[in-house]
Chain A
Amino acid sequence: MRVSLYASVATLALSASLAQAAGHLPFTPGEGDFNWDSLTAFAEANDLNGEEISVFGPWRGDDQALVESILGYFTEATGATIKYASSETYEQQIVIDTEAGSPPNVAVLPQPGLIQDLVSKGFVEPLGEDTENWLRANYAAGDSWVSLGTYTGPDGEDRLYAFPYKIDLKSLVWYSPENFEDAGYEVPETMEDLKALTQQIVDDGGTPWCIGLGSGGATGWPATDWVEDMMLRTQSPETYDQWIKNEIPFTDPAVVGAIEEFGFFARNDDYVAGGAGAVASTDFRDSPDGMFSSPPQCYMHRQASFIPTFFPEGTEVGLDADFFYFPAYAGKELGKPVLGAGTLAFITNDSPGARALLAFLQTPIAHELWMAQSGFLTPHTGVNTDLYGSDALKKQGEILLNATTFRFDGSDLMPTGVGAGSFWTGMVDYAGGKDAAAVASQIQESWDALK
């Protein structure tokens, strides 16, 4: 009797403190269709009063405000304070911090290749089999997520080290629906249709594509996404996996073919705004502006789900701009492959708080709170998908669920020297007019040099 009385007093106090916190949290606990029960259950199971957890992530600016609002609920539920930090050079920062012995408790990174480096040096704590089983059971296509978070440890054993949280969708083509209506174009359903539409726009006197590869020190990465998408549309997923592990060389006809598929769009002066010469020099952030200028400089732009951030101010997704799935060849019977990217959370400095934070990321509420705001996709099957903050997100979620194949961004999985080095520069060379086979052998050489 007495025990249950205390328990109910504790619950009362807890719900009072959750309600009180509503002032600076975007959603009031207990309201809306959120899975608040999971938060309450989590709060009851974890009491971390006075503990401090340092989190290091890739999100800055508006994204930082978003992630801090999610972590705010964790603080309310457990009493632990979270110190979130980020930096423009987060890839180098995390290496310096782990090497020097002052790592954060939890780190979040979008590059599996970099995580593998840290894991093999022994800086990352394994998450354990429970988390692995949880991922298999609760994430759609759970096995592919488990394999994404599994790395080879310092002892040569494969274990789950990182927890995927927050997914970006890459296989999207953005367009202005009204420009399509004005010209009488239809959204293509197959790659054959897309190529025909590209030619038709040219015949009508327009320019179909805006492509920009510029991105400061990372110039070239948008082209690697093109090639990966083309790889999935011309080859089987197994060939894609072999390519990423370099079990087939870069000079393989399959890879060279995918590069040339990208060249079909990017190397034709008529197909690209500003001509093929402008592809490598246009910044990827300025590139979509061409769709919204008058008269339109282009009709389509292939880019990941984050790109609306760089649309002109006031552009409304769904009204002024929309997207369709970057289609697959009808004739190749490879289904509907989807290319994505995402961030993975892992423990670099073990503590009860770090474990609790990873457990918090498994609760549906940690996903729902972010997806109800913006820029968040999740494969978590236990969430209420009605909560997606916009129709665009919901539509992207559907593309993710309808995918017959999901593959992670290949350049992120390759060794850093290739995936964030020679592959980027090679694609810039290719866009500048160099032969595909020559570019491929150059990238293969740099990969051989790393072995």
Chain B
Amino acid sequence: MDNIAGQKSTLTWAVHIAVLVLVLAWVFPTLGLLVSSFRTSDQISTSGWWAALTTQEGQLPAIRINGQEVQEADLYVIEGGLFPDSDTTVTAWGTSSRAPEAHAAGDTAELKDGARLTVAGDGAFRLTGGQSWEGQRLPRVFTTAATPPEFTLSNYTNVLTSDTAGAGIANAFINTLTVAIPSTIIPILVAAFAAYALAWMDFPGRSLLIAAVVGLLVVPLQLALIPLLQLHNAIGIGKGYLGVWLAHTGFGLPLAIYLLRNYMVGLPRDIIENARVDGATEFQIFIKIILPLSFPALASFAIFQFLWTWNDLLIALVFLGTDDSTLVLTGRLVNLMGSRGGQWEILATSAFVSIVVPLAVFFAMQKYLVRGLLAGSVK
């Protein structure tokens, strides 16, 4: 007994460490994505997200002098601040890319044509010259400075309110819900009946049918896109919500039937046989006994299917079309990134915008998820 107990405790440690590693492996990138979603694209491309959390010291890209020209006696003066929106502290500065640290904060530099430039520690500058700056190229200032952490909400306002991508987010949100909810309910309805029949009703060829369903699990759905759309066009469904519901139902059914059938097979035979003896019909057994007992499996499959249809881009684009009026959330977020993509700030923000509903669904139903998962796999 001692021996077994000892084994158990070392195993527990292994499990704890494994769980910790897995949790970190998921939380760490998610945190990075969250931080990135509050940074501008320039910040993202110049430094890592971890650098955003502390004050950064370093050489900043050139800032061009900019401001209203004022005439003081025979001098033309432009005054202003290099960092109007942040508490950046300048330690050194310069006007040439060759010598970006030529002057200390507060120094005055001689530029060409008798112009003078002073940059103070807080970024305040004073540019004076003998003639008007009108129509001239104003000098650039390279600074070496300490920048406190700075975050922006502009990515979120951009993603939530921009209509450069054609469709507004509210419209896309409703389109996605219109796709996802029926695409979750229809396969569950069909699969529950089928799973009961395959688990508890005797008919010839049942095992073959089950084998066929399992076989269908491995068929890649990309293979079916063109023939299926051809079929939809031929029978007059065309592109639309009905088509996308049917497609999601079809692609979701093999897994649903397999998962639910395995769960239902595990239910105690006695209950069902008792019911049969008492004269219940198959339909009554299904409604009164099987369905309530299978709730964890139904719920776990519902979560799977909902997440998959919510995140789906491919099927929605193919069967629903890419018009602004029918664009789903994922499609709209992709279009926001522009013709050449690569906008990390939009990508990060979009991820958090689109994750809200799946998270809510997951937390509402997560206690069924584990039970249902185990039910499907362990008999």
Contact residues, B220-266 vs A (CB, 8 A): 225-227, 229-230, 232-234, 238-239
| Stretch among B77-85, B332-340, B361-369 lining the A interface | B332-340
| Stretch among B173-181, B196-204, B320-328, B371-379 lining the A interface | B320-328
In the complex, what residues of B have CB within 8 A of residue A125's CB?
none
Q: Which residue, B96, B165, B322, has most C-beta atoms of chain A within 10 A?
A: B322
Would you call B233 and A100 a contact (CB within 8 A)?
yes
A59-B339 contact in complex given A179-B97, A293-B61, C-beta closer than 8 Å: yes
Query: Is B48 in contact with chain A by the CB < 8 A criterion?
Result: no
In the complex, what residues of B have CB within 8 A of residue A395's CB?
none
Query: Is B45 in contact with chain A by the CB < 8 A criterion?
Result: yes
Contact residues, A45-102 vs B (CB, 8 A): 54, 56, 58-65, 68, 83-89, 93, 96-97, 99-102
Query: Looking at the complex, which one of A84, A89, A96, A294 makes contact with B166 (CB distance below 8 Å)?
Result: A84
Would you call A61 and B336 a contact (CB within 8 A)?
yes
Query: Is B124 in contact with chain A by the CB < 8 A criterion?
Result: no
Would you call A182 and B96 a contact (CB within 8 A)?
yes
Docked complex Cα distance between A63 and B59 (Å): 34
Query: Is B342 in contact with chain A by the CB < 8 A criterion?
Result: yes
Docked complex Cα distance between A86 and B41 (Å): 24
Would you call A294 and B62 a contact (CB within 8 A)?
yes
Docked complex Cα distance between A183 and B45 (Å): 26
- Smallest CB gap from A180: residue in B: B97
In the complex, what residues of A have CB within 8 A of residue B239's CB?
102
Would you call A294 and B317 a contact (CB within 8 A)?
no
A84-B324 contact in complex given A64-B164, A306-B340, C-beta closer than 8 Å: yes
Q: What would be 25 A-B contacts, judged by CB atoms less than 8 Å apart?
A: A54-B323, A59-B339, A60-B337, A61-B339, A64-B164, A64-B165, A64-B339, A85-B321, A87-B317, A87-B331, A88-B341, A89-B314, A99-B230, A101-B229, A101-B233, A102-B229, A176-B97, A178-B140, A179-B97, A216-B341, A216-B342, A286-B342, A294-B143, A295-B59, A309-B340
Docked complex Cα distance between A293 and B143 (Å): 11
Known: A62-B164, A178-B97, A295-B142. 19 other contacts (CB 8 A): A54-B323, A60-B339, A61-B337, A88-B334, A93-B322, A99-B230, A100-B226, A100-B229, A178-B62, A178-B140, A182-B96, A182-B97, A289-B46, A293-B46, A293-B59, A294-B62, A309-B340, A312-B45, A313-B41
Would you call A87 and B322 a contact (CB within 8 A)?
yes
In the complex, what residues of A have CB within 8 A of residue B140's CB?
178
Would you call A89 and B317 a contact (CB within 8 A)?
yes
Docked complex Cα distance between A102 and B335 (Å): 22
Query: Looking at the complex, which one of A64, A176, A283 makes contact with B335 (CB distance below 8 Å)?
Result: A64
Would you call A283 and B342 a contact (CB within 8 A)?
yes
**Min distance, Cβ A164 to any Cβ of chain B, angstroms:** 18
In the complex, what residues of B have CB within 8 A of residue A86's CB?
322, 335
Query: Looking at the complex, which one of B98, B143, B324 makes contact with A85 (CB distance below 8 Å)?
Result: B324
Query: Is B64 in contact with chain A by the CB < 8 A criterion?
Result: yes
**Min distance, Cβ A81 to any Cβ of chain B, angstroms:** 11
Docked complex Cα distance between A320 and B138 (Å): 11
Would you call B317 and A295 a contact (CB within 8 A)?
no
Query: Looking at the complex, which one of B142, B226, B338, B341 makes contact with A99 (CB distance below 8 Å)?
Result: B226
Query: Is B354 in contact with chain A by the CB < 8 A criterion?
Result: no
Would you call A96 and B225 a contact (CB within 8 A)?
yes
Would you call B317 and A93 a contact (CB within 8 A)?
yes
Q: Report B174-195 CB contacts with A as 1/0, cut-off 8 Å.
A: 0000000000000000000000
Would you call A295 and B233 a contact (CB within 8 A)?
no
Query: Is A319 in contact with chain B by the CB < 8 A criterion?
Result: yes
Would you call B339 and A182 a contact (CB within 8 A)?
no
Query: Looking at the complex, which one of B318, B334, B341 makes contact with A96 (CB distance below 8 Å)?
Result: B318
Query: Is A264 in contact with chain B by the CB < 8 A criterion?
Result: no
Would you call A85 and B100 a contact (CB within 8 A)?
no
Query: Is A134 in contact with chain B by the CB < 8 A criterion?
Result: no
Interface residues of A (CB under 8 A from B): 54, 56, 58-65, 68, 83-89, 93, 96-97, 99-102, 176, 178-179, 182-183, 215-216, 283, 285-286, 289, 292-296, 306, 309-310, 312-313, 319-320
Query: Looking at the complex, which one of A292, A310, A312 makes contact with B342 (CB distance below 8 Å)?
Result: A310
Would you call B137 and A294 a contact (CB within 8 A)?
no
Docked complex Cα distance between A259 and B188 (Å): 57
In the complex, what residues of B have CB within 8 A of residue A100's CB?
225-227, 229-230, 232-233
In the complex, what residues of B have CB within 8 A of residue A56's CB?
322
In the complex, what residues of B have CB within 8 A of residue A313's CB?
40-42
Would you call A60 and B324 a contact (CB within 8 A)?
no
In the complex, what residues of A have CB within 8 A of residue B96's CB?
182
**Min distance, Cβ A290 to any Cβ of chain B, angstroms:** 10
Docked complex Cα distance between A149 and B226 (Å): 27
Would you call A101 and B230 a contact (CB within 8 A)?
yes
Contact residues, B291-343 vs A (CB, 8 A): 314, 317-318, 321-325, 331, 334-342
Docked complex Cα distance between A68 and B166 (Å): 9
A102-B238 contact in complex given A61-B336, A293-B61, C-beta closer than 8 Å: yes
In the complex, what residues of B have CB within 8 A of residue A320's CB?
62, 64
Q: Report B28-52 CB contacts with A as 1/0, cut-off 8 Å.
A: 0000000000001110011000000
**Min distance, Cβ B43 to any Cβ of chain A, angstroms:** 10
A61-B97 contact in complex given A85-B321, A87-B331, A312-B42, C-beta closer than 8 Å: no
Contact residues, B106-144 vs A (CB, 8 A): 137, 140, 142-143
Would you call A61 and B338 a contact (CB within 8 A)?
yes
- Smallest CB gap from A312: residue in B: B42
**Min distance, Cβ A16 to any Cβ of chain B, angstroms:** 28
Docked complex Cα distance between A154 and B96 (Å): 62
In the complex, what residues of A have CB within 8 A of residue B104's CB?
none
**Min distance, Cβ B46 to any Cβ of chain A, angstroms:** 7
- Smallest CB gap from A288: residue in B: B45
In the complex, what residues of A have CB within 8 A of residue B272's CB?
none
Closest 6 CB pairs of A and B: A61-B338, A100-B229, A85-B322, A285-B342, A294-B59, A60-B335
Docked complex Cα distance between A101 and B236 (Å): 11
Docked complex Cα distance between A64 and B338 (Å): 8
Query: Is B146 in contact with chain A by the CB < 8 A criterion?
Result: no
Would you call B61 and A312 a contact (CB within 8 A)?
yes
